């Protein structure tokens, strides 16, 4: 599967055309320090990046803060269309999101896997949720492969249904026309300040050109390693985009483990931005299962002695996660659910292996050693085999609609009720059942402006 920064995707699929490839991103120049500021920059400003004082908190932005509402609002319906701006817009997840939304809108497929299309959100409906037909897609990518071609590659690999790329060709072409060059590109001489300014300008132009009510920015780009120095001079690419989203007045979602808003330079700016945001790293497979099973062991008072895991995957994500730094960023989120639900992190390692032949199809194996009554030793093993992008796409569509609705009804700050969707959420409960309860309550908040 194509698309990752270190692609080597010869998979014997019989393709005759070259697969679109991503160039590795370049580290750009240091940000100049400026005086500390306590205010976020309003949308449309073009001043250089300002550094806030390093915060004393060790948690990511706003992790422990509750959802704050600007003003109770009842039954607000979005009147204009909603933009969905995908960072990594030509990747497997993004292409599946765009093609999938078009397929659902055309009535070609059922919305399987979309929680916002299930009873808590549809019966009665949540008026603030934008209709799937009201979503307009655009984004940034460092790759130039046209979306229809990416969709054909995904169909050839069995990720998208046969014939779907042709059926939704017009929608893919329209989204493709709204994708702007990302960065930093190899040889890019722009400073971080210039890159942020360019990305924010792209976002504003997208909203203007399509007469959008709001645009939700979603990071689905290749996972980057955690910065070596979290207080360093340079912003990682994911944080440049997150900064641009705040500057352009856009709600922000981080579906990857990359830094994004969780950078000390951005934390206070995010908190005072008046915008809703959520992350990090979509919970689609192994961690989804862990967030169900770990609470079971805790509730049955069984002693987990070791929890070990291995992931085999290919595609662009597999290639990106072959970098030990990127894999470490991913594994941190996967481990967090165990620590949060069991009270401490059990022994056991977690591995991610790149197997290009598997493409987007992931196998995740977990081995759980636990003690029962009188120290009796037992084992549970699970094997998850899933299509990564098919698992991720409905969640990305759910999150785009939910964060747009949150913005519509005046919610701001971290949205812990969206922890249901993330490995490394901004607070809230860690067990999936409790997270689902919080999400259903959130539906009521979005519906009526009043917590249930
Ligand atoms: N089930 C899932 O698929 C799942 C679950 C959780 C998280 N994620 C995360 O979602 C992300 C996307 O996964 P994917 O399978 O689509 O990967 P992919 O490799 O197919 O796509 C990533 C895209 O990001 C682009 N990109 C890289 N650097 C960029 C930059 N600086 N600016 C703009 N674009 C850039 C690449 O060109 C590529 O098109 C990964 O970070 C992955 O870890 C996926």
CA angle, 315 then 182 then 424, to 5°: 60
What is the rounded average pLDDT of the residues 133-156? 97
Q: Which residue, 221, 216, 280, 279, is CA-closest to 249?
A: 216
Give the DSSP H/E element, type plus range, for residue 382: strand 377-387
Adjacent-strand bridge partners of 181: 141
Beta strands in 191-316 (DSSP E): 214-219, 252-254, 276-279, 303-313
Render pLDDT for 326-383 as a digit per residue (tens, 0 to 9). 888 778 877 889 999 999 999 999 999 999 999 999 999 999 999 999 999 999 999 9
| C-alpha 94 – ligand 1 centre gap (Å) | 8
Q: What is the pLDDT of residue 450?
A: 67
What is the rounded average pLDDT of the residues 187-206? 96
Length of the chain equals: 452
CB 337 within 8 A of CB 294: yes
Q: Give me the residue label for tokens 């996660």.
A: 321
| pLDDT band, very low/low/confident/very high, at 5 (cuts 50, 70, 90) | very low
Give the DSSP H/E element, type plus range, for residue 179: strand 179-181
What is the rounded average pLDDT of the residues 241-260? 97
| pLDDT band, very low/low/confident/very high, at 322 (cuts 50, 70, 90) | confident
Q: What is the pLDDT of residue 59?
A: 37
Question: What does residue 348 show for φ and ψ, rounded to 5 degrees?
Answer: 120, 145
| C-alpha 73 – ligand 1 centre gap (Å) | 36
Give the DSSP H/E element, type plus range, for residue 351: strand 350-354
| Range name among 88-97, 184-193, 436-445 with the lowest pLDDT average | 184-193
Q: Which residue has the higher pLDDT, 229 or 348?
A: 348
CB 265 within 8 A of CB 52: yes
Does residue 279 register a pLDDT over 60?
A: yes
| C-alpha 394 – ligand 1 centre gap (Å) | 15
Render pLDDT for 65-98 as a digit per residue (tens, 0 to 9). 434 444 444 446 678 999 999 999 999 999 999 9
| pLDDT band, very low/low/confident/very high, at 409 (cuts 50, 70, 90) | very high
Cβ of 337: how many Cβ atoms within 10 Å?
27
Give the DSSP H/E element, type plus range, for residue 141: strand 135-141
Q: What is the pLDDT of residue 391?
A: 97
Question: What does residue 75 show for φ and ψ, rounded to 5 degrees?
Answer: 50, 50
Q: What is the pLDDT of residue 252?
A: 98
| C-alpha 318 – ligand 1 centre gap (Å) | 10
Q: Which residue, 330, 336, 349, is CA-closest to 224?
A: 330
Q: Give me the residue label for tokens 């500021």.
A: 37
Q: Using omega within 30 degrees of 0 as the cis cutoff, is the peptide bond preceding 146 cis? A: no
Does residue 120 register a pLDDT over 60?
A: yes
| Range name among 175-189, 217-231, 361-375 with the lowest pLDDT average | 217-231
Residues in contact with ligand 1 (CB, 6 Å cut-off): 3-5, 22, 25, 87-88, 90-93, 140-143, 182, 220-223, 237, 255-256, 281-282, 284, 315-317, 320, 388-389, 391-392
Q: How far apart are CA 122 and CA 171, in angstroms?
A: 26
CB 192 within 8 A of CB 240: yes
| C-alpha 281 – ligand 1 centre gap (Å) | 11
| C-alpha 93 – ligand 1 centre gap (Å) | 7
SS3 22: coil
Does residue 239 register a pLDDT over 80?
A: yes
Does residue 222 register a pLDDT over 60?
A: yes
Which of 44-58, 183-197, 219-233 is the most confident on average? 183-197
What is the rounded average pLDDT of the residues 302-317? 94
Does residue 41 register a pLDDT over 70?
A: no
Q: What is the pLDDT of residue 49?
A: 55
| Residue of 188, 222, 399 best suited for mutating to test ligand 1, as the one with most atoms within 8 Å of CB | 222
| Range name among 58-67, 126-135, 224-233, 313-322 with the lowest pLDDT average | 58-67
Adjacent-strand bridge partners of 383: 365
Q: How far is C-alpha 230 from the geometric centre of its chain's CA atoms?
A: 20
Q: For the chain, what is the radius of gyration of the CA atoms?
A: 21
Does residue 12 register a pLDDT over 80?
A: no
Give the DSSP H/E element, type plus range, for residue 447: helix 432-448
Q: How far apart are CA 375 and CA 370, in angstroms?
A: 9
Q: Give me the residue label for tokens 């929680």.
A: 115
Q: Write the CA distances from 127 to 113, 162, 307, integer angstroms.
A: 20, 34, 43
The two three-digit tokens of residue 68, written as one number: 């704050």
Q: What is the pLDDT of residue 228?
A: 82
Q: What is the pLDDT of residue 76?
A: 64
Q: Which residue, 97, 114, 135, 122, is CA-closest to 214?
A: 135
| Residue of 9, 26, 28, 91 best suited for mutating to test ligand 1, as the one with most atoms within 8 Å of CB | 91
């Amino acid at each position: 599967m194509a698309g990752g920064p270190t692609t080597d995707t010869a998979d014997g699929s019989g393709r005759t055309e070259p697969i679109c490839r991503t160039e590795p991103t370049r580290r750009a120049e240091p940000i100049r320090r400026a005086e500390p500021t306590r205010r976020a920059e309003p949308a449309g400003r073009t001043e250089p990046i300002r550094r806030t004082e390093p915060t004393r908190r060790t948690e990511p932005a706003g992790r422990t803060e509750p959802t704050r509402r600007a003003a109770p609002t009842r039954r607000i319906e979005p009147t204009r269309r909603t933009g969905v701006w995908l960072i990594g817009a030509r990747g497997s997840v993004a292409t599946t999101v765009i093609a999938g939304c078009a397929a659902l809108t055309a009535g070609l497929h059922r919305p399987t896997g979309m929680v916002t299309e299930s009873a808590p959100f549809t019966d009665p409906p949540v008026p603030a949720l934008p209709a799937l037909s009201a979503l307009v897609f655009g984004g940034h990518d460092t790759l130039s492969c046209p979306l229809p071609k990416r969709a054909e590659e995904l169909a050839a690999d069995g990720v998208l249904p046969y014939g779907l790329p042709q059926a939704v060709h017009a929608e893919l072409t329209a989204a493709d026309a709204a994708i702007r060059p990302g960065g930093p590109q190899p040889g890019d001489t722009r400073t971080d300040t210039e890159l942020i300014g360019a990305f924010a300008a792209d976002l504003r132009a997208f909203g203007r050109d399509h007469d959008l009510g709001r645009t939700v920015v979603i990071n689905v780009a290749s996972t980057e390693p955690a910065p070596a120095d979290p207080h360093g001079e340079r912003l990682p690419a994911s944080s440049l985009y997150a900064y641009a989203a705040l500057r352009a007045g856009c709600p922000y979602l981080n579906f990857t483990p990359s830094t994004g808003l969780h950078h000390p330079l951005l934390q206070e700016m995010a908190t005072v931005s008046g915008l809703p945001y959520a992350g990090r790293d979509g919970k689609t497979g192994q961690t989804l299962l862990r967030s169900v099973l770990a609470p079971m062991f805790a509730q049955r008072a069984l002693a987990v002695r070791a929890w070990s895991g291995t992931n085999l995957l290919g595609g662009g994500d597999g290639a990106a996660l072959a970098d030990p730094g990127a894999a470490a960023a991913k594994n941190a989120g996967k481990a967090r659910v165990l620590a949060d639900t069991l009270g401490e992190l059990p022994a056991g390692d977690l591995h991610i292996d790149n197997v290009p032949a598997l493409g987007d199809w992931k196998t995740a194996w977990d081995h759980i050693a636990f003690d029962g009554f009188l120290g009796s030793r037992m084992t549970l093993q699970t094997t998850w085999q899933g299509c990564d992008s098919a698992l991720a796409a409905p969640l990305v569509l759910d999150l785009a609609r939910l964060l747009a609705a949150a913005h519509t009804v005046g919610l701001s700050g971290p949205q812990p009720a969206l922890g249901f969707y993330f490995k490394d959420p901004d607070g809230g409960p860690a067990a999936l059942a409790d997270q689902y309860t919080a999400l259903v309550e959130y539906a009521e908040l979005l519906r009526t402006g009043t917590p249930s």
